[in-house]
Structure 1
Amino acid sequence: MDPTDIARWQFAITTVYHFLFVPITIGLSAVIAGYELTWLRTRDERWLRLTKFFGKLFLINFAIGVVTGIVQEFQFGMNWSDYSRFVGDVFGAPLAIEGLLAFFLESTFLGLWIFGWDRLPARLHAACMVLVHIGTLFSAYFILAANSWMQHPVGFAFNPETGRAEMNDFAAVLFNKVQLVTFPHVVLSAYMTGAAFVVGVALWHLRRARTAEDRAVYRPAVRTGAWIVLVAALGVAVSGDVQGKIMTEVQPMKMAAAEGLYETEAPADFSVFQLGTLDGEKETFSIKVPGMLSFLATGTPNGEVEGINDLREKYRDTYGADPGAAYYSPGDYTPVIPLTYWSFRLMMGLGMAGAAIAAWILWATRRGRAPTGRAVLAAAVALPFLPLFANSFGWIFTELGRQPWAVFGLMTTEHSVSPGLSTGEAWTSLTALTAVYGVLAVVEVRLLLTWIRKGAEELPPDVPTDAGEDRPLAFAY
């Protein structure tokens, strides 16, 4: 294999693995903050038990997520030095702010939240988790600003002497129109994922609860989590619709590839399911919704959607005719159609399935009901994974659909890889990182299952609600 292909596999494996932790961290921090604030308002110890219980699970996820995220930074220097050199002036500011402001905010106040139980005033302690969640939002915003620049480069000038993109408008980078629709879509999907995790865990405990007290603890978690999943799913659908129209405007090839649409059509249909040749060029069977692709792309059921063939010629004329641009690479300009097609549908299908299960759970637990059938157990196991994998397929679609571009219209992936990277070096790092991540996966699953089985432990009889006498900091768990 070519070193570029190996480097792409490595980046895909480590990035998709890392992103499994990100939406749970964002969503779960919001849910935990809400539970602790509810306890402050009601002084009902059920909410405090839920806060402590899901706080432990959050800390496990956060710790593994931090470890896996560090690798992403080193990869840019290891395998993608030409890319780093080209985008460094643009990426430097948002990523530095993410590290110095957002992650500092998260880690500092998370530390205070962990060690501040029984030490900090109750309101201040709850405020720490609120600030942790705000930190996750800042972190997501600045990282997405960098990624959105790759999708739609703005606020820069290309310096032919240095061969670099140099930022000249920081505000344009931060408020890129792709960023403004991507951020709410990602955050709402994270709320959906975090809440689905809460519902799955709480529903499993509700099904096996033996006492009325335990049922009284887990049932509110199931209900609140399911409502968050439904409301967030609605927001994801609306923001995703807007994002699709912006995507069609700035990256029309990605929308055409999402349908495997080779010829320009008006109106263009959307296939719920399609079979055809391996390259996706010829269709043998499909189930289609008339005009739906036109609506997703343009907002009207009769709008014109450009096909892959026309866009391919347009890109060749635009980018392939400039031999003086070192970062332009004449070629196909077409992503892998089957992967783009199915990742787009799995993103939407899994998300809708998660929302449907949440709606069913709300119905099954109405008016004090606590269902115990096998269907409930299946829902508890399946629900956390549906929005989680929908997030992953969404990012696969976002990044894969941009190919062959690393930075759309400026730099191809082929020109991004480190020039001195050998096949042996690429294989070594891929094998080593995959093995390490495999070990971390075992550790993560083992820790989560261990603490999930323990459930929301009863509180000691002397749990204080405000700071008392001066005492040394103590780890609450």
Structure 2
Amino acid sequence: MDALLLSRVQFALTTVYHFLFVPVTLGLSIFVALLETGSLVTKTYAMRDRLRKLAKFFGGLFLINFAMGVVTGIVQEFHFGMNWSEYSRFMGDIFGAPLALEALTAFFLESTFLGLWMFGWDRLSPKLHCLTIWIVALGSNLSAFWILTANSFMQHPVGYAISNGRAEMTDFLALVTNPYVHGEFGHALLAGVSTAGFLVLAISAWKLLYDRESRAAFELSLKAAVVYTMVGLMGTMGVGHFHTQYLAEANPMKLSAMEALWETENPAPFTVMAVINEDEHKNDMAIEIPALFSFMLYNKPEGEVKGMNDLHQELVAKYGQGDYYPDVTGLFFSFRIMIGVGGLMAAITALLGLLAWRRKLLDFPIVLKLVQVLFFLPFIANSVGWYIAEAGRQPWIVVGLQKTADAVSPNLTAGEVGLTIAGFTAVYLVLIAVAVGIGFRHIYNTKIAED
């Protein structure tokens, strides 16, 4: 294993670890803000008190998650200088701008008002205190927007010129209005809503079963989370569908790899399952639904979809000899895992909603235990979704401009990267053990009894 491969492995490991916390931050900040807003507008004291206490409870979990996100996110920035110095040299003028804006307009905003929210419960008026958590939610999601603006350039470069061997920004407005950003940001935001909602469902289910004093409050949070999670899931699927249609224009190779479509077809089938032969650039076996892939892209059961083999020839003609196929097997199965996990989450959420509507949640403890056991589902979906987004553009680190093999630091050794991988892994394992321990103590010890 050389320095390039190990650097890719290291960045993947640290990014996946960081991305465990990012969606929770995005979604839980909004959920807490909605709870506190509900406590302001409700007219009954009991409901107002219950919602206020729930906002404090889930706000505590948000703080733990936020701290972990900050710590793990800092590591990502060091990677660019240490492992990917050629990328930093080539892309610094463009990538640096949204990263600076992320710190100035989002992270500082989020951190400042989170402090006001934490310590302002008895010092600020209820309306002003509620405003602080909404600003925290805005800052969290604005932070994601700037990061995804930079990432979207790597997927679909716009508003730039090549000068002195570097990509230089020529149109900042084009950068922030890049059509690729719309799909990426919408998908990430709604995935965060789904993740936070499903986590609230699991915690509320545990509280309903094992904390009799708090049942009234957590029955309320479970009902709210059912709606919140379903909105997130349906929105994620909808935005994902439209973004997939856009990929036909922006990155058709990634799109065809997700479906293991090697040859151009009209209409193109949707492949349910396949035995993929990447060496011979074909599927040895495939279970297909005729015309469904074309229907998904064009909203009608016809339409040409270019296969990877034809697309590869076009890329060779444009960029020269090379291997322009991404990890087809990984993309194909990652996409199906993401869709399958999303469907399972929707089914569990709908079942909980039905039981809550009929006031029979405690009559079916097996369902409450099931959502606790499967709390990790959205984290799987987020991780494979990230893999699809990043692995789908390979062998490019910036599509059409710089290959991943040309972006790694030139004097880096495999031993150096291997040592830091071991170090990061050990530190991260300790960090997650501490964070999970603090989170469980908070859930176990916090009671929301009726006054």
Distance 2:375 2:54 in 1: 17
Structure 2: which amino acid aligns with 1:127?
L
- Which residue, out of 331, 344, 369, partners 2:322? 331
Q: Would the alpha carbon gap of residues 393 and 280 (structure 1) be closer, same or farther in structure 2, given more than 3 Å must change? A: farther
- Which residue, out of 203, 208, 211, partners 2:210? 208
- Which residue, out of 178, 181, 184, partners 1:182? 184
Map 1:156-167 to 2 at 5 A: 156-159=160-163, 161=164, 163-167=165-169
**Equivalent position of 1:228 in the other structure:** 228
**Equivalent position of 1:409 in the other structure:** 400
TM-score, length-scaled by structure 2: 0.95
Distance 2:299 2:383 in 1: 26
Partner SS, residue 300 of structure 1: coil
**Over residues 291-311 of structure 1, what are the superposed CA-to-partner deviations in whole Å (9 max), with x where a residue is unaligned?**
222233344321111111111
Partner SS, residue 244 of structure 1: helix
Q: Would the alpha carbon gap of residues 127 and 279 (structure 1) be closer, same or farther in structure 2, given more than 3 Å must change? A: farther
Superposed displacement of residue 277, structure 1: 4.0
**Structure with greater proportional helix content:** 2
More relative contact order, 1 or 2 (CA 8 Å, 6+ apart): 1
Distance 1:261 1:276 in 2: 10
Moved more, 430-439 or 110-119: 430-439
Map 1:149-160 to 2 at 5 A: 149-159=153-163
Structure 2: which amino acid aligns with 1:77?
G
Q: Would the alpha carbon gap of residues 383 and 455 (structure 1) be closer, same or farther in structure 2, given more than 3 Å must change? A: farther
Structure 2: which amino acid aligns with 1:17?
Y
**Equivalent position of 2:378 in the other structure:** 387
Q: Are 1:359 and 2:354 an aligned pair? A: no
Superposed displacement of residue 224, structure 1: 0.8
Superposed displacement of residue 147, structure 1: 0.3
Distance 1:223 1:287 in 2: 39
Q: Are 1:426 and 2:417 an aligned pair? A: yes
CA contact 2:348–2:371 (8 Å) conserved in 1: no
- Which residue, out of 388, 393, 399, partners 1:397? 388
Structure 1: which amino acid aligns with 2:227?
W
**Equivalent position of 1:147 in the other structure:** 151
Structure 2: which amino acid aligns with 1:437?
Y
Q: Are 1:168 and 2:170 an aligned pair? A: yes
Partner SS, residue 288 of structure 1: strand
Superposed displacement of residue 200, structure 1: 0.9
Moved more, 143-152 or 196-205: 196-205
Q: Would the alpha carbon gap of residues 455 and 289 (structure 1) be closer, same or farther in structure 2, given more than 3 Å must change? A: farther
Map 1:19-34 to 2 at 5 A: 19-34=19-34
Q: Would the alpha carbon gap of residues 375 and 274 (structure 1) be closer, same or farther in structure 2, given more than 3 Å must change? A: farther
Superposed displacement of residue 383, structure 1: 4.7
Moved more, 260-269 or 366-375: 366-375
Distance 2:282 2:225 in 1: 43
Moved more, 349-358 or 396-405: 349-358
Distance 1:247 1:332 in 2: 20
CA contact 2:117–2:132 (8 Å) conserved in 1: yes
**Equivalent position of 2:250 in the other structure:** 250
Distance 2:343 2:279 in 1: 27
Superposed displacement of residue 122, structure 1: 1.3
CA contact 2:262–2:282 (8 Å) conserved in 1: no
Distance 2:331 2:106 in 1: 32
Partner SS, residue 365 of structure 1: helix
Partner SS, residue 287 of structure 2: strand
Superposed displacement of residue 187, structure 1: 0.5
Structure 2: which amino acid aligns with 1:204?
W
Distance 1:271 1:86 in 2: 38
**Over residues 335-383 of structure 1, what are the superposed CA-to-partner deviations in whole Å (9 max), with x where a residue is unaligned?**
1111111111111111121111111110111133332535323432245
**Over residues 131-181 of structure 1, what are the superposed CA-to-partner deviations in whole Å (9 max), with x where a residue is unaligned?**
00000111111111000000000000011x2x1000000000000010122
**Over residues 12-68 of structure 1, what are the superposed CA-to-partner deviations in whole Å (9 max), with x where a residue is unaligned?**
000011011000001001000111111122242111121111111111111011000
Distance 1:24 1:84 in 2: 29
Q: Report the RMSD for the aligned CA atoms in angstroms.
A: 1.6
CA contact 1:336–1:400 (8 Å) conserved in 2: yes
* Fraction of identical pairs, as percent: 46
Distance 2:18 2:298 in 1: 33
Structure 1: tracts of 5 or more residues without a match: 321-329, 462-477
Structure 1: which amino acid aligns with 2:283?
E
Distance 1:183 1:217 in 2: 33
Distance 2:281 2:438 in 1: 46
Partner SS, residue 273 of structure 1: strand
Superposed displacement of residue 107, structure 1: 0.1
**Over residues 303-331 of structure 1, what are the superposed CA-to-partner deviations in whole Å (9 max), with x where a residue is unaligned?**
111111111111000001xxxxxxxxx31
Superposed displacement of residue 458, structure 1: 4.1
**Equivalent position of 1:137 in the other structure:** 141
TM-score, length-scaled by structure 1: 0.90
Give the length in aligned residue pairs: 447
**Over residues 90-119 of structure 1, what are the superposed CA-to-partner deviations in whole Å (9 max), with x where a residue is unaligned?**
112111111011001100000011111211
Moved more, 183-192 or 39-48: 39-48
Moved more, 46-55 or 150-159: 46-55
- Which residue, out of 109, 113, 120, partners 1:109? 113
Distance 1:274 1:125 in 2: 54
Structure 2: which amino acid aligns with 1:216?
A
Structure 1: which amino acid aligns with 2:176?
L
Distance 1:428 1:438 in 2: 16
Structure 2: which amino acid aligns with 1:74?
F
Q: Are 1:122 and 2:126 an aligned pair? A: yes
Superposed displacement of residue 276, structure 1: 4.2
Q: Would the alpha carbon gap of residues 259 and 439 (structure 1) be closer, same or farther in structure 2, given more than 3 Å must change? A: same
Structure 2: which amino acid aligns with 1:400?
A
Distance 1:48 1:400 in 2: 43
Structure 2: which amino acid aligns with 1:230?
M
